[in-house]
Chains A and B, each alone.
Chain A
Amino acid sequence: MVGIVVISHSRALAEGVVEVARAMGVGKAVVEPAGGDLEGGLGTSVDLVEGAVATADDGDGVLLLADLGSSVLTAKMVIEDAGGESLLLADAPLVEGAVAAASMAATGADLAAVHAAAESAYDHRKTR
């Protein structure tokens, strides 16, 4: 199954988004948090991101979602370092993207489909 990693500046935020996404993934989707720096403060840790990717990866690929700034840059760098095509970063809002990705991943869809689901989250408007 495609894994999902949620990268945020805040450990609490990453864990909260993961909690919601796992629930929407009906207990099947693999969603791992990578939040904050190594000491639990605000920031981004490449080691935490790589660790979460390793945990989430069962061979079918991993979709990364990032909040902003250094989270996005770190995600891109981890993807570049990994090489190949088993990691993708979604251009998506964090919560909605994670929910969409987890819902799709739980169906057993492939990485391209999970990526597309996450990116479609921008189309779900809230006031119109």
Chain B
Amino acid sequence: MNAEDFVAWVRRAAELVAADADRLTRLDAAIGDGDHGHNMDRGFRAATDAISGGTLPEDAPPGKVLMTAGRAIVSKTGGASGPLYGTALRRAGKALGDTADVDAAALGAALRAALDGVRELGKATEGDKTMVDALAPAVAAYEAALADGSDLAGCVRAAAGAAGEGAEATVPMQARKGRASYLGPRSTGHLDPGAASTALVLGALADVVAQGG
């Protein structure tokens, strides 16, 4: 994947988030503060603007694309998703360094760095009913596919599939982080909005790679 593919990923993520903003907000209204769709939409729009306008040098490597997008998300997203997604993208970008052409192993390392960053910042572990419940299985599935000899497209497909399944698996969980955790057992029976949006962002990556990225 080159820098253009990473720009395309952020754009596609922004499209999917915009299309699903109302659903994300409804999910968040059930157990959170009801702003997740709006915040994510605003953040990813800002990210798209930051990497499309003349602000980014034309020869910027993939890592710089993700770090710039991450900074924009941090600045423009009002809720907890700003620091969390911002950290994820910036850590992934940092892991990619100055590499111009990202191979399957490098992308896997970047996704792992994103997960580590989110865990460190939010102190959430799997089972807490957060975005980690989508991101952690996605990274694990990516790494397993890579170890099995899959190409980049295969690894990304595995990750996106695992993220979707991971998000669905948050439904019966009782929240242990964020506003939903105040609800105790009443937080069960709902899909976690952060896990749902994480599945969208990884789905966007699969879309872009499938289109020949």
Tell me the residues in window 136-174 of chain B with beta carbons closer than 8 Å to chain A beta carbons: none
Question: Which of chain A's residues have a CB closer than 8 A to the CB of B81?
Answer: 70
Q: How far is the CA of A37 from the CA of B74 in the complex (A)?
A: 12
Report the bound CA distance from A34 to B111 in whole Å.
32
Expressed in whole angstroms, the Cα–Cα distance for A42 and B75 within the complex equals: 15
**Which of B5-13, B18-26, B52-60, B83-91 is the contact stretch?**
B83-91
Interface bracket on B:
10 to 19
Q: Determine whether the beta carbon of B78 is less than 8 Å from that of A73.
A: no
CB neighbours of A37 from chain B (8 A): 78
Q: Is the CB of A77 within 8 A of B83?
A: yes
Tell yes or no: A103 within 8 A of B by CB. Answer: no
A13-21, A44-52, A93-101: which one contacts chain B?
A44-52
Interface of B is mostly: helix
- The distance from the CB of A101 to the nearest CB of chain B, in whole angstroms, is 23
Interface centre among B78, B79, B86, B178 (most CB of A within 10 A): B78
Q: Which residues 26-71 in A have Cβ within 8 Å of B in the complex?
A: 37, 41-47, 69-70
B80 in the interface (beta carbon within 8 A): yes
A67-103 CB contacts (< 8 Å) to partner B: 69-70, 73-74, 76-77
A43 to B83, Cβ gap below 8 A?
A: no
- Whether the pair B79, A76 counts as a contact (CB closer than 8 A) is no
Min C-beta distance of A111 to chain B, whole Å? 22
Q: Contact at B82–A74, with CB atoms within 8 Å?
A: yes
B121 in contact (CB, < 8 A): yes
Complex partner residue of A46 from B75, B121, B178, CB under 8 angstroms: B75
Q: Which of A42, A43, A77 contacts B74 (CB 8 A)?
A: A77
**With A73-B84, A77-B87 given, is the CB distance from A43 to B78 under 8 Å?**
yes
B89 to chain A, nearest CB (A): 12
A contact residues around B186 at 8 Å (CB): none
Q: Which residues of A contact B87 (CB under 8 A)?
A: 77
Interface set of A (CB-CB < 8 Å, partner B): 37, 41-47, 69-70, 73-74, 76-77
Contacts A41-B78, A70-B80 known; list 15 others, CB within 8 Å.
A37-B78, A43-B78, A44-B78, A46-B75, A46-B82, A47-B75, A69-B80, A69-B178, A73-B80, A73-B122, A74-B74, A74-B82, A76-B121, A77-B86, A77-B121
Can you identify 18 A-B contacts, CB atoms within 8 angstroms?
A: A37-B78, A41-B78, A42-B78, A44-B79, A44-B82, A45-B75, A46-B83, A69-B79, A69-B178, A70-B80, A70-B82, A70-B83, A73-B121, A73-B122, A74-B74, A76-B83, A77-B74, A77-B87
